[in-house]
Structure 1
Amino acid sequence: MEGKITPDEKKWVVLCPVYINSEKTIAEGRRICAEKACESPTCAEIGDCCTYLKLNFAVENDKAYPRDFMQRGRVRVCLKKEDGTPCNPAIPSRKQLMLYVAELVPRHPGRTKKQEPTSTTSTGASKSGKGGKKKR
């Protein structure tokens, strides 16, 4: 759903990835608490979450968040129908949308799970003692 936005889409709420990025501070643009935010979300992941939540959306790749203009892209999401009723009753507000999307992004199938580093040192051949030079 990329491309030029229609006049109806101008009324949709804007969701920048910075809003739900746990690596950013409030001053840098994060809008939900860091514990509920997710790590480095992308516009594509946010769009897939909107599809999962059965919400209409449009990705704008030519736009950027002013405080972080190097990261391009934002997502416009339709929260309310023409008559003012919510498209998804579980998501009545912009804040709820951010919380739901931040919860869904880490479970996105495109994300690779980071494996914990395994120790490669052998425990049997380790030296005991302080090491270093012996005093005479």
Structure 2
Amino acid sequence: MDGDVPNIKKWNILYPVYINSKKTIAEGRRINASKACENPTCAEIGDCCSHLKIPFAIEIDKAYPRDFMQRGRVRVSLKREDGTLYNPAISSRKQLMLHVAELVPRHPGRTKKQEPTSNSNAGPSKSTKGGRKKR
């Protein structure tokens, strides 16, 4: 992996916003909301890349231009120096985003956190707007 360090600038960039189901397309989501996952982190995306046998580098000091409060991005390399794919199932950045979005909800650090929130959502589903009711 040390040989790739100078060439890291050529790697593809994945911002967590690209696969965040809470964001709109105007806010930067790049894949279908039904396939996206909720609030992914750079660490989770990195773990998914290592699971898919794809080299990655997390850049914490960088931010997404449209939402600069969202810190961090992940650089990934889909192809080796000779042009062959690291993972034959993933040939494009779009395919990588779809695979990662599928894996993040099953991430070990996430499974415990998701349990209580899914139960609380089973309550009233009406969206209540503030303000007075008309009679």
**TM-score, normalised to structure 1's length?**
0.81
Secondary structure of the residue aligned to 1:71 is: strand
Does the alignment pair 1:114 with 2:115? yes
1:55-110 deviation per Cα after TM superposition (whole angstroms, max 9, x unaligned): 11000000000101001000000100111111110111000000000000000000
> What does residue 9 of structure 1 align with?
8
**TM-score, normalised to structure 2's length?**
0.81
Identity level (%): 73
- CA distance 1:8–1:106, change in 2 (3 Å): same
Distance 2:121 2:65 in 1: 40
1:114: Cα distance to partner?
2.6
- CA distance 1:25–1:85, change in 2 (3 Å): same
Does the alignment pair 1:86 with 2:85? yes
Aligned length: 116
- Within a 5 Å distance, the mapping from 1:56-95 to structure 2 comes to 56-95=55-94
- Within a 5 Å distance, the mapping from 1:31-42 to structure 2 comes to 31-42=30-41
Q: Please, which runs of 5 or more residues in structure 1 have no aligned partner?
A: 120-136
Distance 1:31 1:68 in 2: 14
> What does residue 126 of structure 1 align with?
none
Q: Tell me the amino acid that sits aligned with residue 59 of structure 1.
A: I
1:6: Cα distance to partner?
3.3
- CA distance 1:83–1:23, change in 2 (3 Å): same
Secondary structure of the residue aligned to 1:59 is: strand
- CA distance 1:102–1:10, change in 2 (3 Å): same
Going by fraction, where is helix more abundant, 1 or 2? 2
> What does residue 129 of structure 2 align with?
none
Q: Which has the larger radius of gyration?
A: 1
* Stretches of 4+ aligned residues off by more than 6 angstroms: none
- Within a 5 Å distance, the mapping from 1:122-133 to structure 2 comes to none
> What does residue 49 of structure 1 align with?
48
